[in-house]
DNA sequence: TAAAAAAGAATGAACATTCATTTTTGTGTT
DNA sequence: AACACAAAAATGAATGTTCATTCTTTTTTA
């Protein structure tokens, strides 16, 4: 029996429980015993799948990040025009934050706290490469402002995180109508002005 | 001897230590004993100033938030034009995040985790009222897009939080030049298009 | 039937909070 | 000014709990 035979279902249940509990209480206020209970598993079993608590949360982060970017780039292909590509990616990201807000909130918490190891954080960033490539192309073609990727991200993508958090806290702001509105703001802030 | 005579210096030292340690390790990974040590105080003394750990962090949040908004609105006055008022407030906020990034990071962590009581969170929001009033005026005068305050905040103010976090993690993106650039993005995304 | 997987109980460390004392402070008296 | 002293403030050590991780045993699997 090799490692591969350990139940992938149990592993997934552990990841899922981690996300839900960390969202509600934060990493350090979430005991391993609770994670185990929610995943219907003994606490000791967690250590068959993960080295320790830190490893569990690091791996959870990387998996959620991968899922997020996979979803974001699913319907994008590199032959699209810059404008069309951006719209498709942006709207997929908005969808993700709306429909899969448990996962999205988890990422927001990871990105704003010292809860994740620096190494895993950097690992997570790599998944965004297709978007950075698209922006590079857009800048070359003169369609996207020649400013740093950080500024582009700050004004075009990150606002969605704030909207998601507001949504989660009771504001109703991410329905169909507002998405279109928000998309226009996003595009306006990164496209070159003389278009 | 009344409560008032307890040293305000000690209380301030405790708040400061809380901010620094929570920034580095997160709320639950920051023991009271460490906070006490950094503030040069016995652990038991903390309980003369705060009810318990949760109360300490709630009060810290409210104080930092008050400091933040006091700074943001310091040079603003209600007789300014909407455009001028917005620019002044926006740049003060940018300054705060740049120069007082310990405090700003602490707020970011509070805003993206379950670490603060809901009541204190709401208390903190109230301080933003002058900005919401300015936006209301701007909308009435047709200068600012008639969209929700959440959207306005998401696209005009919140991006600064992302830029600050990136800065903290090593990117050099918030110098004078970029601030002006970022401000133009912010203003573009909330002003009405036919200006 | 042997190896892997899983379990529950045990272990020991870390921590928030309280307790019993000591130190400091401000006031009134000589 | 020096002192006495009560109330407040501060302390370090103790308490009891919670929790990550490990250990030993049982169950499952091939």
- Position A32 scores a pLDDT of 98
Nearest partner of A166 among A69, A97, A91, judged by Cα: A97
Q: What is the pLDDT of residues B44-89, one digit of tens each?
A: 999 999 999 999 999 999 999 999 999 999 999 999 999 999 999 9
- What DSSP designation does B173 have? -
Burial class (CB in 10 A: 0-12, 13-18, 19+), B61: buried
- What DSSP designation does A117 have? -
Domain B54-190, CATH: 1.10.357.10
Compute φ and ψ for A117, nearest 5 degrees.
-60, 145
Handedness of CA B37, B40, B46, B52 (dihedral sign): negative
Q: What is the pLDDT of residues A99-135, one digit of tens each?
A: 999 999 999 999 999 999 999 999 999 999 999 999 9
What's the CA gap between A100 and A114, in Å, rounded? 23
Q: What is the pLDDT of residues B133-158, one digit of tens each?
A: 999 999 999 999 999 999 999 999 99
Mean pLDDT along residues A7-24: 97
What's the CA gap between A50 and A9, in Å, rounded? 14
What's the CA gap between A167 and B163, in Å, rounded? 22
- Position A173 scores a pLDDT of 79
| A62, A69 Cβ separation under 8 angstroms | no
- Position B5 scores a pLDDT of 64
Q: Do A148 and B178 touch (CB under 8 A)?
A: yes
The residues of chain B that CATH labels 1.10.10.60 are 7-50
| Angle subtended at Cα B171 by Cα B169 and Cα B177, rounded to the nearest 5 degrees | 140
Class for domain A61-190, per CATH? mainly alpha
Instruction: Specify the nucleotide whose C1' lies closest to residue B33 (CA).
Output: C15
**pLDDT over 70 (residue B127):** yes
- Position A2 scores a pLDDT of 39
| B67, B46 Cβ separation under 8 angstroms | no
**pLDDT over 80 (residue B4):** no
The residues of chain A that CATH labels 1.10.10.60 are 1-50
- Position B195 scores a pLDDT of 66
Q: What is the pLDDT of residues B157-185, one digit of tens each?
A: 999 999 999 998 888 777 888 899 899 98
CA A101 distance to own-chain centroid: 10
What's the CA gap between A56 and A71, in Å, rounded? 23
Query: How long is the CA A54 to C1' C9 vector, in angstroms?
Result: 24
Which residues are CB-neighbours of A121 under 8 A, at least 6 positions away?
A: A61, A110
What's the CA gap between A57 and A64, in Å, rounded? 10
Q: Confirm or reject contact between B154 and chain A (CB < 8 A).
A: yes
Nearest CA to CA, how far is B180 from chain A (Å)? 12
Domain B7-50, CATH: 1.10.10.60
Strand C-proximal residues, CB under 7 Å?
A 1-3, 5-7, 10, 40-45, 48-49; B 1, 5, 29-33, 43-44, 47, 52-54
Please, what's the b/e burial string for A38-56 (b: 16 or more CB within 10 A of its CB; e: otherwise)? bbebeeeebeebbeebeeb
Tell me the pLDDT of chain B averaged across its residues.
93
End-to-end CA distance of chain A: 62
CB-side exposure of B57: number of CA atoms within 13 Å?
26
- Position B175 scores a pLDDT of 82
| B157, B93 Cβ separation under 8 angstroms | yes
Q: What are the structure tokens assigned to B193, written together?
A: 């298009």
A53 strand D contact, CB < 7 Å: yes
Of A109, A114, A189, which has the smallest distance from its Cβ to B185's Cβ?
A189
Q: Do B155 and A182 touch (CB under 8 A)?
A: yes
Q: Do A114 and B26 touch (CB under 8 A)?
A: yes
The residues of chain A that CATH labels 1.10.357.10 are 61-190
State whether CATH 1.10.10.60 applies to domain A1-50. Answer: yes
Nearest CA to CA, how far is A174 from chain B (Å)? 9
**pLDDT over 60 (residue B2):** no
The residues of chain B that CATH labels 1.10.357.10 are 54-190
**pLDDT over 70 (residue A4):** no
Mean pLDDT along residues A32-52: 97
| Angle subtended at Cα B102 by Cα B99 and Cα B106, rounded to the nearest 5 degrees | 130
- Position B3 scores a pLDDT of 43
**pLDDT over 80 (residue A171):** yes
Please, what's the b/e burial string for A5-27 (b: 16 or more CB within 10 A of its CB; e: otherwise)? eeeeebbebbbbbbbbbbbebbb
């Amino acid at each position: 029996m090799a490692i591969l035979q350990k139940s992938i279902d149990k592993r997934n249940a552990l990841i899922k429980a981690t996300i839900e509990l960390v969202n509600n209480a934060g990493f350090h206020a979430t005991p391993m015993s609770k994670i185990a209970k929610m995943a219907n598993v003994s606490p000791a079993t967690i250590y068959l799948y993960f080295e320790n608590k830190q490893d569990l949360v690091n791996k959870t982060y990387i998996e959620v990040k991968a899922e997020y970017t996979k979803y974001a780039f699913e319907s994008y292909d590199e032959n699209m025009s810059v404008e069309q590509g951006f719209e498709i990616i942006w709207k997929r990201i908005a969808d993700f934050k709306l429909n899969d807000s448990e996962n999205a909130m988890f990422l927001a918490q990871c990105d704003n706290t010292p809860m994740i190891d620096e190494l895993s954080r950097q690992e997570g960033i790599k998944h965004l490469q297709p978007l950075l490539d698209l922006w590079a192309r857009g800048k070359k073609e003169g369609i996207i402002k020649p400013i740093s990727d950080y500024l582009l991200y700050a004004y075009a993508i990150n606002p969605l995180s704030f909207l998601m958090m507001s949504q989660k806290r009771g504001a109703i702001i991410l329905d169909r109508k507002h998405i279109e509105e928000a998309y226009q703001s996003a595009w306006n802030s990164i496209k070159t002005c003389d278009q």
